[in-house]
Amino acid sequence: MGSIRARKENGLLFLDFRFRGQRCREQTLLEDSPANRKRLEKLLQNLEQEIASGLFDYAKYFPNSKAPPSPTSPVQVAKEQAVTASSEATSAFSTFAEQWFTEHKVEWRRSHIAVLRSTLDGHIIKYFAAKPVGSISKADILAFRNHLASMPGKCEKSVLSNKRINGILQPLRQIMEEAADRFGFPSPMQNYKPLRIRKTDVNPFTLDQVQAILSNARPDFHDYFLIRFFTGMRTGEAHGLKWKYVDFANRLILIRETFVLGEDEYTKTDGSQREIQMSQPVVEALQRMHAATFKLSEYVFCNREGKPLDNKNFTDRIWYPLLRNLGLELRRPYQMRHTAATLWLASGEAPEWIARQLGHSSTEMLFRVYSRYVPNLTRQDGSAIERLLASRFATGGVASEPAAPSNSAPPKTSPGSAGLVPSTKSPGVQLNP
């Protein structure tokens, strides 16, 4: 087992390990600190794994070092040669990647297959091509990551984001782990960690902004916006909504499909299969939509040809021009879903009910995503205990024995006190269409 040590004369760290039965010590220029020790511990771990598997290349780790120790026995020489030969004799990366894709294709959704195919052809296979899959090292992986980090992104003068780079490297990890398992070599991505992604904040609209959007929207999109703002549907769920999933009798919208890449598909997750309760404004908006599109298409929201709305066309020609016209900060249409969640919180709806409306399996994600809205909008900010203590200790005397707890739920705080919505619940907010 190797170790990380510091030289007494200069305080610099060095690696102390054994290779081919001999003790090796390699100096670094790193000062002795917890961060540098942690960095070298990872290096040492990778180094010893490669030594154990027979794939260790001394010159790759220490290019400026003296010649590495020679094998101490013919058996060791044969072992190292066999391991090296087996890794280099593996199939070309492109061949194995295509085999992996074909074998696992049956497990994936159509939209995932399309995105993965684009990623493989546009980045991964294009880069590694004919290189033997068993000869790809961690250094090759990091070089590929640096290559991706220099590539242009969607926006002008931008590069690929960390999120996109992680998305490209994820299938590469799966391919390399599968190859390592089949051909018997250690995966170069065994200890690889994804790039850190900056947390994105939700940016919902206020109720005043929602009303401004509804008042200035194109007449044929007024009800579309109203339904999006007060149901929390995702864009694909809204564009894939069919009339057979609208239950007027029970005032429910059944989320059963989503529209992705030009085709109907199963929802994002099993938990996304849900029933959304219609508020009165939503019922009235859907009744107007029914009169407009029911005879034209099976889809609730459709173009003049009866086909589902195209997301890019809607975003570029309807959504962003409307926000610019109103002087509002540009944000993705997905923020309509966040707006529904925050308005429900503002009105004092039960978190469990909101989670079901959004298709979340629990309230955990609700509080994690909208945490800063919960205390300010539902008044769960300590004011209740302040009122209790004030009533008990207002006279400065000893408090009387508290009454037995009641099983009844506490009354909902009037959301109007938060200064954001009227006293009616957000699903029932009355708007003038």
Which stretches within 89-137 are classed as H helix? 93-104, 110-119, 125-128
In this predicted structure, what is the pLDDT of residue 76?
56
Residues whose CB is less than 8 angstroms from the CB of residue 91 and which lie 6 or more positions away in sequence, other chains included: 99, 132, 133
For residues 38 and 149, membership in a common domain is answered with: no
Which residues in the chain show pLDDT less than 70? 1, 53-54, 67-89, 156-157, 374-433
| Final residue of a structural domain among 165, 183, 201 | 183
Q: Does residue 87 fall inside a structural domain?
A: no
Does residue 198 contact residue 408 with C-beta atoms inside 8 Å?
Answer: no
Domain boundary among 331, 349, 367: 331
Contacts of 79 (CB under 8 A, 6+ apart): 54
Cα 30 to the center of its chain, rounded Å: 36
Q: Is residue 134 part of a domain?
A: yes
Q: Which of 307, 331, 355 is the last residue of a domain?
A: 331
- Res 88: pLDDT: 52
Closest CA to 170 of 204, 119, 106, 224: 119
Do 58 and 167 have their domain in common? no
Question: Is residue 45 included in any domain, yes or no?
Answer: yes
Task: Indicate whether 372 belongs to any domain.
Answer: no
Between the alpha carbon of residue 423 and those of residues 1, 305, 353, 418, the distances in Å are: 68, 42, 19, 10
Query: Do residues 259 and 308 both lie within one domain?
Result: yes
Domain count, the chain: 3
Specify whether 149 is located in the same domain as 245: no
Specify if 120 maps to a domain. Answer: yes
Is the same domain home to 218 and 150?
no
Q: Which residues contact 334 (CB under 8 A, 6 or more apart)?
A: 234, 235
Residue 105 forms part of a structural domain: yes
Is the domain of 242 the same as that of 178?
Answer: no
Q: Which of 293, 214, 209 minimizes the C-alpha distance to 246?
A: 293
Q: What is the pLDDT of residue 409?
A: 43
132/230 same-domain check: no
Q: Based on the fold, state whether residues 316 and 228 are members of the same structural domain.
A: yes
Residue 316 belongs to some domain of the structure: yes
User: Which CA distances in Å does 282 have to 252, 305, 308?
Assistant: 10, 24, 20
Domain membership of residue 280 as a residue range: 210-331
H helix or E strand, kind and range, residue 275? strand 274-277
On whether residue 373 sits in a domain, the answer given is no
- Output the DSSP codes for 2-64: -EEEE-TTT-EEEEEEEETTEEEEEEEEEES-HHHHHHHHHHHHHHHHHHHHT---HHHH-TT
The CATH number for 260's domain is 1.10.443.10
Same domain for 215 and 114: no
65, 99: one domain: no
3-state SS, residue 231 = coil
